[in-house]
Amino acid sequence: MAEVRPDPLPFFDRDAWRAWSPMLYHVVETHVPAEVLARFSDEVEPGWIEWLHRETFRATGRACDLVESISAALRVHFAGIRVFHGTRLKSLEDVAARGFVAWDKASLVQAARARFGGVVQAQALERAIAQARPDVRAGAVYTFSALSIALDVHDDDDPVGAIPAFSAAGGEWLRAVARHLDADVAVAPTTGYLFALDIPWRRCSGNIQRLIAQHALTTSLISARLDRTRYRMASGLDCVDICSDVPASAIAAFAETDGLAGRPIRPDELRWTPWRP
């Protein structure tokens, strides 16, 4: 008899809150007494989660950590989180070979010196490199936590946004150094892309996982108990920084964006192409 393999877990999409928020709110109901939830509102102090923890303890005598409970539920039901990365490339082969690289500080500094050395005064270049903060930019691949965040969509019921300003060829790092030099980065012809990346939980830091859970909890409370039209459902966590290289195998799909730049767009105008290694 052939072995039946379970379907792989999906990746958590913050914009798909209509699908997952009822499940997460059920987690809340298993930990928080109904009489406490009946008194919950968006005006409770000192904050929604803190209030629920305090009132649950008063009602039951038991401490709870709703964020950790939500985080555990996310790990059970999802393989990781889907995030979005925008960039400009000469060719898709640029990422097919290496994926997205979390350059270290030394590599960033070396790239800036190679690009601008001999073009500007050495002292001015070193000052610009320091001002661009290679220590902060190094060691991570920075991504948008949701497509609505990438497009800066503010109305869940009428989602209209815009293509974000992607880095020029050579990377956002060289662009930042150039700004401090008041210089232009000479670019080769490039194409703008948005990449949908499926990031396993193990590649997300504990702090990032807790922030994801915290905002998922908040979203479930809004959806179940409050007037959601007053809130942006994917708010709060704009960036998910991945503190390692992201291999090309993490790419789920990509969309070219140059034809949509410079005007209002709806998310469904993006034409996604599945990534085939």
If pLDDT is split at 50, 70 and 90, which confidence band does 118 have?
Answer: confident
What is the tens place of the pLDDT at every residue in 231-257?
A: 999 988 999 999 999 999 999 999 999
- What is the model's pTM? 0.90
Which one, of 135, 142, 136, lies nearest residue 100 by Cα?
142
Q: pLDDT category, 2, cuts 50, 70, 90?
A: low
Mean pLDDT of 133-160: 94
Per-residue buried b or exposed e for 229-254, using 16+ beta carbons within 10 Å of the residue's own CB: eebebbbbbeebebeeebebebbebb
CB 170 within 8 A of CB 132: no
Between CA 174 and CA 116 the distance in angstroms is 9
Copy the structure tokens of residue 61: 């005598």
Taking only the tens place, the pLDDT of each residue in 194-209 is: 999 999 999 999 999 9
Distance of alpha carbon 77 from the chain centroid: 19
Taking only the tens place, the pLDDT of each residue in 154-193 is 999 999 999 988 776 667 888 889 889 977 666 668 899 9
Give percent of the chain with pLDDT exceeding 70. 94
> Which CA distances in Å does 163 have to 16, 23, 255?
20, 32, 11
The per-residue pLDDT for 166 is 77
Per-residue pLDDT reduced to its tens digit, 214-223: 999 999 999 9
The structure tokens listed for 77 are 């039901």
On average, the pLDDT of the chain sits at 92
50: Cα separation from own chain's centroid: 25
Give pLDDT tens digits for 8-18: 999 999 999 99
Give the model's pLDDT for residue 185.
Answer: 64
pLDDT score recorded for residue 220: 97
Residue 50 belongs to what H/E stretch? helix 48-60
